[in-house]
């Protein structure tokens, strides 16, 4: 039988954060983000990540910001359904998705790589965050947009490497690892959680 905690002490609660992926760079990005924002979310808690394999419901390489956001949202909503049906005690739900955004600038096609995070909790609050955007070389953009090759496969050939998606990602290849895929998702997650750890500024928006 355990001893009662000393008077005046308090037990540290564990907050479970469900993340809709099994890919290590994405999971690591959430863990790194929680190390930064965790004390602002709850200074008396420790956070644990639960990896949940859910589908995005969009193509492998989304071709617009709207489609990329939809993929992240779909992952989050799928985890909420799983939690409700299975009685899981997950507090936060994080969906992550990477994709492309296409713009026309001075008559030239510009294709940017973006990472988005979509966050919700038990009260149905919503947070949405982006990583920033990285311009793709036109030869790489052409492989994805015009030839229909998934970005994960295209970047392997472009960089003459294997498994780029599971390591530094296209971000790392194109920035010489000054910003990796994991770094980009970490930024997106921190941004997405802003309405939760800085709720006074957001007025409890949903």
Residues 6+ positions from 31 with CB-CB distance below 8 Å: 49
Torsion of CA 99, 104, 106, 109, to 10 degrees: 60
- Residue 160: per-residue pLDDT: 86
- Is 14-200 in CATH node 3.40.190.10? no
pLDDT computed for residue 2 by the predictor: 45
> CA-CA-CA-CA torsion for 39, 45, 46, 51, nearest 10 degrees?
-100
Name the 3-class secondary structure at 50.
strand
* Burial of 163 from C-beta contacts in 10 A (0-12 / 13-18 / 19+): exposed
Sequential pLDDT tens for the chain (206 residues): 444 445 555 678 999 999 999 999 999 999 999 999 999 999 999 999 999 999 999 999 999 999 999 999 999 999 999 999 999 999 999 999 999 999 998 999 999 999 999 999 988 899 999 999 999 999 999 999 999 999 989 988 888 888 877 788 889 999 999 999 999 999 999 999 999 999 999 975 55
- Which tokens hold the place of 90? 């997950």
CA distance 117 to 196: 14
Placement of tokens 């919700």 in the chain = 120
For Cα atoms 131, 51, 16, give the angle at the middle one, nearest 5 degrees: 90
The pTM assigned to this predicted structure is: 0.91
CA nearest 100: which of 70, 69, 65? 65
The first and second tokens of residue 5, run together, are 């905690």
- Compute the distance between CA of residue 94 and CA of residue 152 in angstroms, rounded to an integer: 22
CA distance 127 to 44: 22
Q: How does DSSP classify residue 157?
A: H
On whether the CB atoms of residues 27 and 47 are closer than 8 A, the answer is no
């Amino acid at each position: 039988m355990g001893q009662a905690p000393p008077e005046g002490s308090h037990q540290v609660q564990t907050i479970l954060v469900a993340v809709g992926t099994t890919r290590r760079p994405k999971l690591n990005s959430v863990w790194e983000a929680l190390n930064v924002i965790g004390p602002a979310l709850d200074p008396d808690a420790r956070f644990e990540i639960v990896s949940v394999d859910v589908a995005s419901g969009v193509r492998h390489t989304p071709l617009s910001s709207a489609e990329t956001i939809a993929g992240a949202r779909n992952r989050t909503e799928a985890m909420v359904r799983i939690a409700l049906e299975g009685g899981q005690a997950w507090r936060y739900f994080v969906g992550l998705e990477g994709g492309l955004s296409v713009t026309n600038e001075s008559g030239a096609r510009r294709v940017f790589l973006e990472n988005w995070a979509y966050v919700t909790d038990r009260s149905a609050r919503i947070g949405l965050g982006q990583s920033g955007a990285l311009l793709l070389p036109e030869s790489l953009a052409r492989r994805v947009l015009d030839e229909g090759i998934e970005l994960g496969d295209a970047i392997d050939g472009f960089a003459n490497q294997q498994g780029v998606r599971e390591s530094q990602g296209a971000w790392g290849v194109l920035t010489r690892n000054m910003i990796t895929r994991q770094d980009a998702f970490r930024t997106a997650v921190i941004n997405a959680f802003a309405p939760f750890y800085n709720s006074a500024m957001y007025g409890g928006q949903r």
